Chain A
């Protein structure tokens, strides 16, 4: 019987053949933390007073969640992180304005095929787009990794998802992954690895793979991973950086197999308050919105912003809607500026946010009022997620966000 990606990768780390269910100890290539580093520093210092981190070169810290600081408490947290990275010689530090960690690390080529990255952020699974074994951990474990450089994994079982066919115009990778989550359910891949297979994979570009892998955690997946191919090496400008890439054997054992025909995918939304509460946009009753948010680590890349503008075709945001647009990183922001995208959004009436998480986690820059409705391109619509428990968050694609911004009601982008 052949081996899965997770078996091969964890087996390589452990130096033996491993079976699902086994525990292996590994030394991740990179440990990511963000604004939460401040709390992690507290844990680190109380466990190892005056101590040094084991591998400063394997730590990446990105300030992105509440940036620029919204309160003096946030600012103090950021200041503590700056002091720590200087003291500890941590060079992979990305300060306020660099962008969202899940965009910045791939741009810096820190999430490589066949590598292991853990992050104190649940959407660390995004790097599966690059054939990286990447998964979320908590703050305590991040502190432990700073000290020891090691952690454990249980070798997961693997779900195979086969993708065939082509997405229709107006339909995006976001609709595809939300459709998959709607089918599998929010715990459908709990504890499991998800591998994407099928002839459609080679046609999915990096930004689309990132959108898909990013939402793996929304069905509980430990990792959500793509093969490394031409698209991966083009992104990295290097074949050499792909040399550690791994992929499952043709006869690997999968615990479940699902097939999706991309041609059948339609624009969908995830309705409040769970990500698997998915339905076609066209099935929704008329749903007025107060805010549209285009951005985040799920859909804040220049391709996403461009697709949204193509739907808007020069039309303005309706007065009843506040449209917020944020590029995922400084690099994506610059690209959007150079292509005139930002100017068009401003002229259409949108508010531009600095690169970062923005209102995604409900701390600042677009918190909702009680009873308000938001159509967001983020990955999570939990009650209270955008700072107000009596607000309603619908998740959709950049195209659906654009169609909604110009009509004021959640709208199928193929209808405008």
Chain B
């Protein structure tokens, strides 16, 4: 499990997935080819299932495109930990079943090389030796996240 750390704030949707591909790439395999292409060109090669992304504030601001959340979920990214998230991105992550943890303290505490683990059911984030509790999601959102995303939740609940 590796941590991919991007210290800057306001990492927007164009940096996560350039707008020029939005109407030609919609599936997991198509999306991952361009994921984070203008932010971290080596990302695709180094990322592995179970990895964590750590970033500054307002992560995912900009467009409503869901390729960033869909692509990261497809790659098996375990969680994104940021100082804060943009609203549509946050909502989209729940819809994809991708765990987001907002913890400015944990991001500030982190130094590259620290081990990071997340336990969503206990609401505990560990960075190196320190623990950072985070509040549980409201039940409605937790149900969608646990079902693996909104459409799975709809299927399971026959709504």
Contacts and interface: CB of A to CB of B under 8 A. Distances in A.
A122 B23 contact: no
Contacts of A46: 151
Given A152-B140, A187-B84, A220-B58, A144 B151 contact: yes
A137 B88 contact: yes
A43 B19 contact: no
Given A47-B151, A47-B154, A77 B23 contact: yes
Interface in B120-159: 138, 140-141, 149-151, 154-155, 159
Interface string B16-36: 001110111010000000000
A38 B23 CA distance: 9
B15 interface: yes
B64 A144 contact: no
Contact of A384 (B38, B84, B149, B155): B38
B20 A384 contact: yes
A42 B20 CA distance: 20
B63 interface: yes
A187 B159 contact: no
A271 interface: no
A73 B38 contact: no
Contact of B66 (A73, A139, A362, A389): A139
B19 A122 contact: no
Contact of A36 (B23, B70, B159): B23
B69 interface: yes
A187 B86 contact: yes
Given A148-B159, A187-B58, A363-B19, A23 B140 contact: yes
Contacts of B44: none
Interface string A27-59: 000000001101100110011000000000000
Interface string A118-154: 0111101000000000001111110110011010101
A335 interface: no
Contacts of B57: 187
Contacts of A210: none
Contacts, number: 132
Interface in B69-98: 69-70, 84, 86-88, 91-92, 95-96
Contact of A220 (B86, B140, B141): B86
Given A140-B92, A187-B84, A384-B19, A274 B63 contact: no
Contact of B15 (A65, A139, A384): A384
Nearest to B58: A187
Interface in A169-200: 186-187, 190-191
A23 B143 CA distance: 14
Interface string A205-245: 00000000000010010100000000000000000000000
A353 B62 CA distance: 25
Contact of B22 (A36, A124, A154): A36
Given A47-B155, A138-B69, A186-B10, A73 B24 contact: yes
B159 A137 contact: no
Nearest to B92: A138
B61 interface: yes
Contacts of B154: 47, 144, 147-148
A186 B15 CA distance: 15
B38 A141 contact: no
Nearest to A147: B154
B92 A141 contact: yes
Contacts of B10: 186-187, 274
> Which of B57, B66, B138, B154: most chain A Cβ within 10 A?
B66
B150 A141 contact: yes
A144 B95 contact: yes
Nearest to B39: A383
B65 interface: yes
Which of B23, B84, B86, B88 has the most CB atoms of chain A within a 10 A radius of its CB? B23
Given A35-B23, A121-B64, A43 B151 contact: yes
13 contacts: A23-B140, A73-B23, A74-B23, A138-B65, A140-B66, A140-B150, A141-B95, A148-B159, A187-B86, A220-B86, A362-B19, A383-B14, A384-B19
Interface of A: 23, 35-36, 38-39, 42-43, 46-47, 65-66, 71, 73-74, 77, 119-122, 124, 136-141, 143-144, 147-148, 150, 152, 154, 186-187, 190-191, 217, 220, 222, 274, 361-363, 367, 380, 382-385, 387, 389
Given A138-B88, A187-B57, A387-B19, 10 more contacts: A23-B141, A35-B23, A38-B26, A65-B23, A122-B64, A144-B95, A147-B154, A186-B61, A217-B88, A383-B38
